[in-house]
Structures are given as C-alpha cells and as structure tokens.
Amino acid sequence: MGEIKEAELPGLGKKYVVRLDSGDRFTVVIYDEGNRELFYFADEEEPLCSVTLTDQEARQVGSIIGGAFYQPKLLEKLESAIAELHIEWLKIAPNAPLAGKSIGDLSLRKKYGVNIVAVIEDAEKGKKRTAAINPGPGYIFTPGQTVIAAARRDALEQFERMVSVEGG
Amino acid sequence: MDDLLNNVVFIFLMATVAIVSARKFHFSSIPLLILLGVLAGPHAPHGAGFDFRLVKSTESAELFSRLGMLLLLFYLGLEFSAGRVIKSGVTILKGGTIYVTLNFLRGLGLGWLFFQSWPETLVVAGITTVSSSAIVTKILVELKRTANPETELILGIMVFEDAFMAVYLSVLSGYFLAQGTSFVVGLIAGLITVAFIFAVLGLGRFMSPYLDRWLNFRSGEPLIMVVFTLLLIMAVMAEKVGVTEAVSALLLGLVLAETSHAKRIIQLVAPLRDLFGAVFFFSFGMGIDCRQFAPVASLVLAAFGATIAGNFLAGIASAWVCGYRGRPLVNVASTLIARGEFAIIAAGLAGDSGSAGMLQPLAALYILLLSIISPVLAKKSRSIYLGLEKAWRLLSRKKTESFAG
C-alpha cells in the first residue's frame, strides 16, 4: 500500500503526496476551482512532469484507475483503504455460502456492518455487463457476480469468507 | 447618449481590456488596470489633435471604486481566520513571523529614509511589506510549482501576511482618522481601532450561533442581499462611531467568517469583488497624473531594489528556519516578491492627506515594476540559486585560503 500524506494549500486547494511501494513519489493537487494536477517527482525538489485534468476528466480517469470499466483478470480481489474504511471488490465463488441469498436475508448491514456499494454482473453471451448500484435488501447474490463492499477491516474479513469457497 | 452611462461604459471597457489582456499575456491584472487608469483618466496626455482623456472621474466612478475597496477588505476579513493561522503549524508560524517582521522593518526603514515623517513612513511600510496573493498564486500555478514542498511554506506565509495586513490596515486607518494630531495620538487611535476590532471579534464569536440561524437562507439571493446591505450599513455607521469604512468592511468580514455560512458568502462575494475591485484599481490610476511619476522615480527605484534584496534575505531566512535547504530557499524568496492589492489599499488609505500626493504614484510605479520583474525572478530561481551557490563557495574558499595563508 502506498503512503498518502495530505496537506492544505490555502487559497489553492489540497495536496496529496503519494509514496508508492516502489519508492516513486507523485503528488495530486486538487484546486478549489475543480481542476486536478498530477505531478511526478524524480528527485525531491522539482517535478519531472505533470498533467492537468478538469473535474470531469479527473472523475473519468479516476474510475478507470479504480477498475470500474475493466478489472485485471489476475487480481480478483482489489483493495483500497482510507483510514478505517475499507472497500473491496470480491468475486462470488460458485459454492459460496452467500450465493442465492438476499442482502436482507443475511442482514449484512445490521449483523456484520457491511455495506454493499454495488454488484457487477459480468457480460455473458448476448448480455451486456450491468451493475446494480446500491442494491436494496431484496437483491439476491449469484455466483460469478462481483460485489463491491465497504466496511471496517474485521467486518470485511468476515464478509470475504462468506463470498469465497466454503472451507477454502 | 446618456452621459452618465457613457462614462461607466468606458470605465468597464478599459478594465475589461486590462483584465483580458493580462490573462492573455500572462501578466498580472492590477498594474495593468492602474496603468490604463493613468493613460485614460482625467490626467491623461492630451493636446492639439489628440486627447486620451476618455474617462472622467465622476460620482458614479467614485461610488464603484469605493464599493470595490469595501468589498476587497470585506473579502480579506472573510478569508482570514485565526484558526487557519494557528492550524498552519509552528513551522509556518515561525517562518511567517520572521518574513513579515523583516520585511516590515525594512519597509519602515525605507519610509523613514524617504520622508522622515511618521504618516508617510507607515504608509510606505504598508505598501512594501506584504506580497500580492493574487500574483503569487498565479506564478505558482503557471510555473507548475504547486506540488513542490516549499509551496506549503509560501502559501502559509501568505496566510500570515493577510492576517498581518488585516491588523495593520486597521491601525493605519485609525491613525489617519486622527490626522493632524501628533504621532502618539495617531498611534493611540490606531491601537484603539485594533482593540475595537478584537472586541467585535469576541462579540462575533459569541454571536455566531445567532448569526448562523439568522443567515440560514437556502438560496443565495437573500443571503447576498443581506450581506451586501449589512456592508453598506456598517460603512455608514462606522463614520458615526469613529472608524473608517474600510475597517468596518474588514470587521464585518471577520465576524461573518466565524459563521458556518462563510464559505457560501465567499463564493457569492468573490465575483462582486472582482467586478468592483477592478474599478477600484482603475480609478486609483485615474487619480494619478503621469507627470507625477518623474519626481518619484528615484524613490521607486530605491524601494524596488530594497524590496528585492530585502525579500531575498527575509525569504531565505524564513525558509531556512523552517528546515528548507538548497534550491527551495531561493524559490521561496523569489516567488514572494510581487506586490499588489494591499499596496494599493494602503496607498489609498493615505488618500487625501496632504503630504500623500507622492505616495500614490509611488505605489503605482512600484507595483508595476515589481510585477514585471517578479515572474522573471521566480522563473529563473534555478540560475539564481546556482549563482548564489557559486558566490558562496568562492567566498568560503577565500576564507579558508586566508586561514591557510
């Protein structure tokens, strides 16, 4: 996981310095006017290159990076963390305990403190790829779907077991 | 055509030309506004066959310009928050104090050297101490330095400068209200203004829950109406209480900054400030006769040199104290050189006081020169740093050689 430092730029906006595991450092500046500027630093002092995005472009690029359009095959499980909040993308295994049950049945929110942000159904023959965003309690999980869940660390670990193969 | 509207159209036309071309040529708009004011105002060059006096300084122009001044100060108060200065941390507090103190002392020294009298000295200090946040932020964005580590310090210092200027402008205006009396009386008047401000601030903090509820409008329309009307009422009442209208605007800003609506008010007021602020700077230029530039030229050059030198010293010192080394030191020093809106407001406060006839052309020429040189210096900070480093190495080698010898 990269280390992220946040700093205020009074009159301009906010700055996020991201230090990656590889040692690289880049900085995102969000201007109060809405633009985002990305800087790549080779050394400590001056940025080597930069890119400016409008608010709209930044959101598009952000969702591409977040994997909303295409998820790498090798990484079934993606993880992103902001302080206590963890968001995970989990694929429902064929014989997962939760398959065939609805969100309400499992009382995910009440019992486990897990919020289902969205469920993505992969494109199959003749069918387009669809996403149920913020599904209601009646929504039934089926194997093969990708669930995006938000919760605290421990709650998510519990939820992960319900999504993966039983005993496995 | 209606003469009144005609004149207003010309004023806004000129201001638009200044602002649009400033944007186009990557130049700062304030000096251009003033310059066009000088060139097209009532003192503009004219003679047989040509007449550049396009704009008259009419009552409407004066009204707009006064509103511009009020809105500029109101905005300064709104954006200021003691919390933000404290939150910015110990390092920035240290760096900011060093920077502002050194520059202020340099300003006082310069003023005394020029005029040997207190009122002018205080105004010169006001003109030369504080950098222009508008120009500095623009330089940072244009040179793509917003993500640099030292930028946090630069912006922190500017927050600090704004806070200093809010207090200083009220001292200054209190001082000028008690004009004609001795220095001590003036200073006491200034300090009373400051005490008054802190009293109102305390009251404002106490009142902010009530104000919060009272200003709780869902749409922007009633909010901006109430705020603008308050601004006018405060300006009228200020004269009765014995503070200037400038201070009253600042004060209202400070009080409203404590409410939870501050952000919305800032968004609503910003375009108004831009609109009338432009007229303020333009009519500041209109008040200047370009023949007045000649007698102040030498003073301006001295102030110009002293500001750059002093700024390098103060900038490097404060960045050094805050733990920066190497090139960022020069970046801090060279970026903060531009002067602008506060210089003009300080010179404007001196206004009609008799001896101040020189101060306004001085301020105008001074910020014009600095706004030309400051982006260049900021851009060349790398070569400046290398040059300084070389000079330093030469110097220290000489020292060691003389030691050895």
B151 touches A at CB < 8 Å: yes
Q: Classify burial at B182, counting beta carbons within 10 Å of its beta carbon; exposed 0-12, middle 13-18, buried 19 or more.
A: exposed
Band (pLDDT 50/70/90 cuts) for residue A77 is low
Task: With residue A14 as reference, give the H or E element that holds it.
Answer: strand A13-19
Alpha carbon of B3 to those of B15, B37, B355: distances in Å?
19, 19, 34
Mutant choice from B91, B144, B158 vs A, greatest count of A C-beta within 10 A? B144
How many beta carbons lie within 10 A of that of residue A43, not counting itself?
8
Q: What is the DSSP letter of B260?
A: T
The order of strands in the sheet holding A146-151 is A78-82, A85-91, A146-151, A115-121, A130-133
Distance (Å, whole) CA B17 – CA B24: 10
B152 touches A at CB < 8 Å: yes
Q: Are B212 and B260 in contact (CB under 8 A)?
A: yes
Distance (Å, whole) CA A42 – CA A22: 12
- N residues, chain B: 405
- N residues, chain A: 168
Q: Are A41 and A50 in contact (CB under 8 A)?
A: no
Q: What percent of chain A lies above the pLDDT cut of 70?
A: 85
Could you say which of A10, A27, A37 has the minimum Cβ distance to residue B84?
A10
Each of the 405 residues of chain B gets a pLDDT tens digit; together they read: 567 788 888 889 889 999 999 888 878 888 888 888 888 877 777 665 666 677 776 778 888 888 998 998 898 888 776 666 666 677 778 888 899 999 999 999 998 998 888 888 888 898 899 998 888 888 888 888 888 888 888 988 888 888 888 888 888 877 777 665 666 777 777 777 778 777 777 777 787 788 888 888 888 888 899 999 999 998 888 777 767 788 788 888 888 887 888 888 888 898 999 899 999 889 888 888 878 888 888 889 999 999 999 999 999 999 998 888 888 888 899 999 988 888 888 888 776 555 557 888 888 889 888 888 888 888 888 888 888 888 888 888 776 666 554
Band (pLDDT 50/70/90 cuts) for residue A122 is confident
Q: Are A92 and A141 in contact (CB under 8 A)?
A: yes
Q: Which pLDDT score is estimated for B288?
A: 82
Task: With residue B345 as reference, give the H or E element that holds it.
Answer: helix B341-350
Within B287-323, where are the H helices?
293-321
How many beta carbons lie within 10 A of that of residue B320, not counting itself?
15
Neighboring chain B residues of A50 at a CB cutoff of 8 Å? 144, 147
Rounding to the nearest 10 degrees, give the CA dihedral for residues B115, B119, B122, B123: -90
Q: Which pLDDT score is estimated for B181?
A: 60
Strands (E) across B49-107 are located at 50-51
Neighboring chain B residues of A37 at a CB cutoff of 8 Å? 144, 146-147
Token pair belonging to A39: 């800087």
The strand pairing partners of A149, in sequence order, are A88, A116
Q: What is the DSSP letter of A20?
A: -
Question: pLDDT tens, A32-73?
Answer: 888 999 999 877 677 888 899 999 999 889 888 877 777 666
How many beta carbons lie within 10 A of that of residue B173, not counting itself?
26
Distance (Å, whole) CA A149 – CA A156: 8
**What is the biggest distance separating any 2 CA atoms in chain B, rounded to whole angstroms?**
85
Distance (Å, whole) CA B190 – CA B386: 45
Neighboring chain B residues of A9 at a CB cutoff of 8 Å? 146, 151-152, 155
What is the complex's ipTM, to 2 decimals? 0.73
User: Cβ contact (<8 Å) for A12 and B147?
Assistant: no
Q: What is the DSSP letter of A117?
A: E
Q: Which pLDDT score is estimated for A80?
A: 52
Q: Which pLDDT score is estimated for A121?
A: 81
Q: Which pLDDT score is estimated for B52?
A: 66
Alpha carbon of B296 to those of B109, B191, B275, B309: distances in Å?
17, 31, 30, 20
What 3-state DSSP class applies to B369? helix
Residue whose pair of structure tokens reads 């040059």 in the numeric block: B387
Is the predicted pLDDT of residue A168 greater than 50, yes or no?
no
Rounding to the nearest 10 degrees, give the CA dihedral for residues B105, B296, B76, B278: -160
Distance (Å, whole) CA A80 – CA A110: 23
Distance (Å, whole) CA B252 – CA B245: 11
Q: Are B37 and B284 in contact (CB under 8 A)?
A: yes
Task: With residue A121 as reference, give the H or E element that holds it.
Answer: strand A115-121
Q: Which pLDDT score is estimated for B405?
A: 44
Q: Which pLDDT score is estimated for A128?
A: 67
- SS3 percent helix, strand, coil of chain A, rounded to 5, is 20, 40, 45
Distance (Å, whole) CA A70 – CA B122: 64
Token pair belonging to B213: 């509820």
B148 touches A at CB < 8 Å: yes
Token pair belonging to A82: 């902001």
Sign of the alpha-carbon dihedral angle for B300, B305, B311, B317: negative
User: Cβ contact (<8 Å) for B144 and A29?
Assistant: no
Q: Which pLDDT score is estimated for B100?
A: 92
Collect all residues from A whose CB is shorter than 8 A from any CB in B.
7-12, 15, 17, 27, 29, 31, 37, 39, 41, 44-47, 50
Neighboring chain A residues of B152 at a CB cutoff of 8 Å? 7, 9, 15
Q: What is the DSSP letter of A7?
A: E
* Category of B116 on φ-ψ map: left (φ > 0), alpha (ψ -120 to 50) or beta: left
- The residue type of B124 is V
Alpha carbon of B93 to those of B99, B100, B106, B232, B364: distances in Å?
10, 10, 20, 34, 31
Neighboring chain A residues of B327 at a CB cutoff of 8 Å? 45-46
Q: Which pLDDT score is estimated for B20?
A: 92
Among B108, B93, B84, B105, residue whose Cα is nearest residue B157: B93
Rounded to a whole number of angstroms, the distance from the CA of B148 to the nearest CA of chain A is: 6
Angle in degrees, 0-180, between the axes of helices B118-129 and B341-350, rounded to the nearest 10: 160
Q: How many CB pairs under 8 A join A and B?
A: 54
User: Cβ contact (<8 Å) for B147 and A37?
Assistant: yes
A10: nearest CA in chain B?
B155
Neighboring chain A residues of B149 at a CB cutoff of 8 Å? 44-45
Question: pLDDT tens, A2-28?
Answer: 788 888 888 788 899 988 888 888 899
